[in-house]
């Protein structure tokens, strides 16, 4: 719910004017963004555009989680970092860029690998979680935490010339979860460092994660809940797959 106590000064009204003028968005939408707290898991190729758009759009609190440092091979696609960040922790490097975009964003940096317990307590009472990690182990852990805390999860992945994105709106009983889609014990890791990635592919998917986060926070439009979009960059085509909650899912179904 928008909070009437949040008032914007003239400078803020100008900064956000192109959003505020949107139908179904308005001052209320801006207030909702201001009150929102989004957790971004991974500030690499997907997390970079996601974090930058959310900071620029006026999300009140962003928590960045990543235990990696910036390497020169990251800079081809991880656009929140730059050449001066090489060797620095990704969360601190990202924080600097995000504050330059919008000094009013509150940014928490977590520079470590979190356990399930730590992740669960981190995401309780947050608006949503963006999964921008690059491996199944992390994705399954994030999914378990979001299921147990009933937190909406915006999940994306990209490799080579392909990507996919969906929303697990785990606030709702009928939402599928990541483990309804992938078997926790049966997936082999494939990542960009071994297989390559064309930079704008992660840019597109990460931007869409930011878009879905804004829609969830402001309750506008229809999110990707129970729909998986699959992107083929070479053919420039999108496919939509319907996702159903698996009633025998070991993670999200009651048994
Ligand atoms: Zn499930």
For the chain, domains (ranges, CATH) are 10-242 (3.40.50.720)
Q: How far apart are CA 231 and CA 207, in angstroms?
A: 13
CA 205 to centroid of ligand 1, rounded, Å = 22
pLDDT band at 255 (very low <50, low <70, confident <90, very high): low
Mean pLDDT in residue range 179-201? 86
For residue 145, how far is its CA from the centre of ligand 1 (angstroms)? 12
In angstroms, what is the span from residue 112 Cα to ligand 1's centroid?
Answer: 27
Fill in the DSSP letter of residue 189: P
Q: How far is the CA of 156 from the centre of ligand 1 (A)?
A: 16
Statement: residue 248 has pLDDT above 80? yes
Q: Phi and psi dihedrals of 154, rounded to 5?
A: -105, 110
Residue 183 CA, ligand 1 centroid: distance in Å? 10
Question: What's the pLDDT band for 100 if we cut at 50, 70, 90?
Answer: very high
Question: How far is it, in rounded angstroms, from Cα 255 to Cα 249?
Answer: 9
Give the burial string for 207-225 (b: 16+ CB within 10 Å, else e).
bbbbbbbbbbbbeeeebbb
Please state, in angstroms and rounded to a whole number, the distance separating the CA atoms of residues 154 and 133.
Answer: 11
Average pLDDT, the chain: 95
Residue 242 Cα to ligand 1 midpoint, Å, equals 14
The pLDDT of residue 186 is above 80? no
To 10 degrees, the CA torsion angle through 113, 117, 122, 128? 90
Reported as a pLDDT band with limits 50, 70 and 90, residue 6 is confident
Dist. CA 198 → ligand 1 center (Å): 30
Helix (H, G, I), strand (E, B) or coil at 23: coil
β partners of residue 39: 63, 129
pLDDT in tens, 23-79: 999 999 999 999 999 999 999 999 999 999 999 999 999 999 999 999 999 999 999
Reported as a pLDDT band with limits 50, 70 and 90, residue 3 is: low
Give the side-chain half-sphere CA count within 13 A for 53: 21
- The pLDDT value recorded for residue 185 is 83
- 226 pLDDT higher than 60: yes
Confidence of residue 4 (pLDDT cuts 50, 70, 90): low
pLDDT of residue 163: 98
Confidence of residue 19 (pLDDT cuts 50, 70, 90): very high
C-alpha 187 to ligand 1 mean position (Å): 15
* pLDDT cut 90: percent of the chain above it: 91
Residue 8 has pLDDT above 90, yes or no: yes
| Residue-level pLDDT at 191 | 74
Alpha-helical segments (H) within 112-255: 116-123, 136-149, 178-181, 192-195, 199-218
- When pLDDT is averaged across residues 242-253 and rounded to a whole number, the result is 95
119: left (phi over 0), alpha (psi -120 to 50) or beta: alpha
Question: Which chain residues have CB less than 5 Å from ligand 1, an ion?
Answer: 177, 179-180, 249, 251-252
Contact assessment for residue 5 and residue 88, using Cβ atoms and an 8 Å cutoff:
no
Q: Would the pLDDT of 2 be above 90? A: no
| DSSP codes of every residue in 87-119 | TSBHHHHHHHHHHHH-TT-EEEEE-SPPPHHHH
């Amino acid at each position: 719910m928008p909070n009437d106590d949040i008032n914007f000064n003239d400078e803020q009204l100008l900064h956000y004017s192109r959003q505020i003028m949107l139908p179904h968005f308005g001052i209320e939408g801006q207030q909702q963004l201001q009150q929102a707290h989004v957790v971004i898991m991974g500030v690499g190729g997907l997390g970079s555009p996601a974090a930058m758009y959310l900071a620029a759009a006026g999300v009140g609190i962003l928590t960045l989680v990543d235990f990696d440092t910036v390497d020169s091979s990251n800079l081809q696609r991880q656009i929140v970092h730059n050449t001066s960040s090489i060797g620095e922790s990704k969360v601190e490097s990202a924080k600097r860029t995000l504050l330059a975009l919008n000094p009013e964003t509150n940014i928490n940096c977590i520079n470590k690998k979190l356990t399930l317990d730590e992740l669960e307590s981190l995401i309780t009472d947050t608006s949503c979680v963006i999964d921008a990690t690059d491996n199944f182990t992390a994705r399954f852990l994030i999914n378990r935490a979001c299921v147990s805390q009933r937190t909406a999860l915006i999940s994306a992945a990209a490799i080579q010339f392909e990507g996919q994105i969906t929303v697990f709106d785990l606030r709702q009983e009928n939402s599928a979860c990541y483990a309804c889609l992938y078997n926790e014990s049966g997936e082999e890791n494939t990542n960009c460092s071994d297989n390559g990635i064309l930079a704008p592919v992660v840019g597109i998917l990460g931007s869409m994660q930011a878009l879905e986060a804004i829609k969830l926070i402001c309750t506008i439009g229809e999110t990707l809940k129970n729909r998986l979009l699959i992107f083929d960059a070479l053919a420039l085509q999108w496919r939509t797959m319907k996702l159903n909650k698996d009633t025998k899912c070991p993670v999200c179904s009651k048994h």
